[in-house]
Structure 1
Amino acid sequence: MFIKTAATAIIAAAAFAGLAAAQDYSLSPNFGTTSLSAGFAPDPYGVSIVAGGSVNASNVGCAGMISNAPDVRLQWSGGRITIGAESGSDTTLVVNAPDGSWYCADDVNGFDPAIALSGSGQYDIWVGVFGGGTANATLYFTEF
């Protein structure tokens, strides 16, 4: 079930700008590009993906195993946006923000990650699996 309330705990993210990375945000996203603007509906908006991969996200200071290419690219026009993932597995988030900063999230809602960010532009998003392997997941976006 998607996160639907503003009362959901969201952890503060740590930015890791300028770190070397094996992740390649210039590659086409595995599960496409989503364009959203402030006030979008439905909210939350979800994308079904397969999380995980063979790249250790510690390359950018994050946890989990991710793919080389982003899972989803978000073109966002607005203020605050929360990016999260839901899965039956222990998933993590890795986000490259429009300014080139790297953000991480893990275990915000049980084993599901979520992260609140601000600012318009291109967000490249990876959903990792803690401990490796792959897992079906839903990547979601919400303004709540």
Structure 2
Amino acid sequence: MKRLATFAMIAAIGLAAPASAQTFGSVNLRAGFTPDPYRTTVTSGGSIAASSLFNNCTGWVADNVDFAVYYTAGSFNLTFSASSNADTTLIIQAPNGNWYCDDDSGNGLNPMVTIGNPTSGRYSVWIGSYRQGEFAQSTLSVSEIGRQ
């Protein structure tokens, strides 16, 4: 009986964890990649205040990186954006350690960050929700042409 109760408790904890606590994946992109933009689906939000990652960031994010972009740079700017029916935010840590945050620079309530002269390496991306406790399906786009 005790074993069954322990199993039920472990199962309940697993079901209670928000979907945004996971890393959704990664991609390797080389300058001139096609199709451009590269797109993937990510669930926004989490239980961590984005300002705890970098003080100029807003929203609520997962405790893990949502998506990692391994980029081999060329002579193009690199634009990250998120689109959703909810109010989302975008937080990016570049390979050189610089942080980029945005709330509404894209269309409507969607975030967008353009990095000039990007370096090669890992770009760690979080898509946050402006409101705590909100989780929304979002599309992350990465582009060198800036049209998303």
Q: TM-score range by the shorter chain?
A: 0.7 to 0.9
Q: In the alignment, is residue 33 of structure 1 matched against residue 26 of structure 2?
A: yes
Give CA-to-partner distance per residue, 1:9-54, whole Å, 9 cap, x none.
xxxxxxxxxxxxxxxxxxxx61111110111111111011111100
Cα distance in 2 between the residues matched to 1:116 and 1:42: 18
Task: Decide which structure has greater helix share.
Answer: 2
Cα distance in 2 between the residues matched to 1:83 and 1:92: 11
**How many residues are matched?**
117
Map of 1:29-108 to 2, 5 A cutoff? 30-59=23-52, 60-61=54-55, 62-79=57-74, 80-108=77-105
Cα distance in 2 between the residues matched to 1:32 and 1:72: 5
Task: Could you tell me which runs of 5 or more consecutive residues in structure 1 were left unpaired when the two chains were aligned.
Answer: 1-28
Cα distance in 1 between the residues matched to 2:127 and 2:91: 6
Match of 1:116 among 110, 114, 117: 114
TM-score under structure 1 normalisation? 0.77
Query: For 1:42, what is the secondary structure of its paired residue?
Result: coil
- The residue identity in structure 1 corresponding to 2:94 is A
Query: For 2:44, what is the secondary structure of its paired residue?
Result: strand
> Counterpart in 1 of 2:144?
143
TM-score under structure 2 normalisation? 0.75
Percent identity, aligned pairs only? 40
Cα distance in 1 between the residues matched to 2:136 and 2:27: 21
Cα distance in 2 between the residues matched to 1:82 and 1:99: 16
Cα distance in 2 between the residues matched to 1:58 and 1:64: 8
2:26, 2:68 within 8 Å by CA — same for their partners in 1?
A: yes
Higher Cα Rg: structure 1 or 2? 2
Cα distance in 2 between the residues matched to 1:48 and 1:136: 7
- 1:121: how far off? 1.0
Task: Decide which structure has greater strand share.
Answer: 1
RMSD of aligned alpha carbons? 1.4
